[in-house]
Structure 1
Amino acid sequence: MSSLTAAQRNAVNQFIAATGATSRSAATFLRTNAWNVERAVDDYYDSGTVAPPKKESKALVEIFEKYKDPEEPSTIGIDGTINYIQDLGVALEDPVVLALAYKLEAPTMGQFTKQQFIKGWQSMNADTIPKMKKAVESLSADLANDPAFFKEVYKYTFAFVRPQGQRVLPLDTAVEYWKLLLEDKFPNQEFFGKWIAFVTEEHKKAVPKDTWNMLLDFVVNVLGSEDGLDTYDAEGAWPSIFDEFVAYLRR
């Protein structure tokens, strides 16, 4: 698995969670099906190769029980999450916390469900705190070095931090997480500072999902390109906020 990209490893983990197959079988069926998880799972069952499902790890259940919410025993709540993240030796404001939430399919901030917690850690072959610490180190490296994995985590963050019942992200929340995730993705501090000044002083609107998702593409493919703003196509499929920002930069 070490030669696979983060996106491919994620596909392997999804396949294993769905079928209980070995990682080798998962990789074989996924390669045959161009890394499409749904097609690969169908192919696996059609082939007659059926592996017994993984048993729930007793060690992981015990770890979950240590941190679970006493009033909602099927979840780890905010207090348990804080204690758990600290026991992993990770600062709460470290971006790897978002990567971990993504891997464990956390539904919202400060919450892990028992089923996804156990399934996620089983897929990463970690059933002790020391093993989990090593897995978190690997996630941190993937976040820094694998653009595809970073993009998955970045896109996941929108729904993860969005207030329940809302379709958009409050601007102050978006700015907070852009500073956490995207500041060092901009080609320089000046561009990042101008983006923050633009959205807070001129645009002043909550952030919809398409703006959130496409900002990363804008930073990488426009600002980070050799020709910079000259590559920006105002007739392209960019949300209007990017037209406004480019005009703002060109003043």
Structure 2
Amino acid sequence: MHSDAAAVNFQLNSHLSTLANIHKIYHTLNKLNLTEDIGQDDHQTGSLRSCSSSDCFNKVMPPRKKRRPASGDDLSAKKSRHDSVYRKYDSTRIKTEEEAFSSKRCLEWFYEYAGTDDVVGPEGMEKFCEDIGVEPENVVMLVLAWKLDAQNMGYFTLQEWLKGMTSLQCDTTEKLRNTLDYLRSFLNDSTNFKLIYRYAFDFARQSKYKVINKDQWCNVLEFSRTINLDLSNYDEDGAWPVLLDEFVEWYKDKQMS
């Protein structure tokens, strides 16, 4: 009995620490207010849009008289144009093959971490995180798990990997690295943030000791949205669950110590 009680207390303290981190993350995201400036390209290309392509061409290029080519010149010109078009097509084709998503390449990439299994486990996940340059506890890994619709924390099945990476159009480590900022951007959207937050609850439910229910989990989100980071506007007589009253008391004691 004593060991079970200690385990429950440990789990509760772990969840309280998580609540504190979620509270800080949410307010930090609001302070950062990351938005993309989409007006710059329009500003830069505005002068190009001020005239039609035919008008601009006529102003820049004066008319010139046609020259009747000699038979040798005509054959040479046709060959030159043909070679030029071929080189352009060949270059585009190679570039497209390299950039296009490949299911085969994605599958090979999966087995770099899964080995002979059809699932990436803890060891493979550790190497995967190292390769993409993020810590396993980084919030972007939660977003990635959400995009892959992973059902178990710390595991990616073959089906989850192929479906999720296809939707992200990632089949290499480099492509996923370049997608990390895109994944983080989901946290800046209130609707997606709520979906990711609720998804995280299913991960939390995998704990042996259930110390928080879904209603309490949703109350934590509302708490982090409405209560100041210093907890100055928290009303202890409000309709908050006991769990959050205990969290506020624990957090204030921790700040004072």
TM-score (norm: length of structure 2)? 0.50
CA RMSD of aligned residues (A): 3.3
The reply to whether residue 148 of structure 1 matches residue 191 of structure 2 is yes
The residue that corresponds to 2:120 in the other structure is 76
What residue in structure 2 maps to residue 86 of structure 1? 130
Aligned mate of 2:105, from 59, 63, 75? 59
Runs of 4+ with >6 A deviation: 243-249
1:138 is displaced (CA, Å) by: 1.1
Return the structure number with greater relative CO, CA threshold 8 A, min gap 6.
Answer: 2
**Structure with greater Cα Rg:** 2
* 1:148 to 1:59, Cα distance in 2 relative to 1, 3 A: same
- Deviation, 1:69, is 4.8
Q: 1:5 is matched with which residue?
A: none
C-alpha distance in 1, partners of 2:206/2:248? 29
Q: Aligned match of 2:156 in 87, 95, 112?
A: 112
Which has the larger displacement, 117-126 or 56-65?
Answer: 56-65
> Equivalent of 2:180, from 117, 128, 136?
136
Contact 2:102 2:171 in 1 (8 A): no
Structure 1 residue runs of 5 or longer lacking an equivalent are 1-54, 169-205
Q: Please give the alpha-carbon distance, in whole angstroms, between the structure 1 residues aligned to 2:162 and 2:121.
A: 15
Q: 1:129 to 1:243 in 2, by over 3 A?
A: closer
Q: Which has the higher helix share?
A: 2
- Does structure 1 residue 158 correspond to structure 2 residue 204? no
TM-score when normalising by structure 1: 0.51
Structure 2 CA distance for partners of 1:83 and 1:244, relative to 1, 3 Å: closer
Residue correspondences, number:
152
Letter in 2 for 1:132: L
8 Å CA contact retained: 1:59, 1:127: yes
Q: Distance in 2 between matches of 1:87 and 1:247?
A: 40
- 2:226 counterpart of 1:221: yes
1:243 is displaced (CA, Å) by 6.3
For 1:33-52, list aligned pairs within 5 A. none
Q: Would the alpha carbon gap of residues 239 and 113 (structure 1) be closer, same or farther in structure 2, given more than 3 Å must change?
A: same
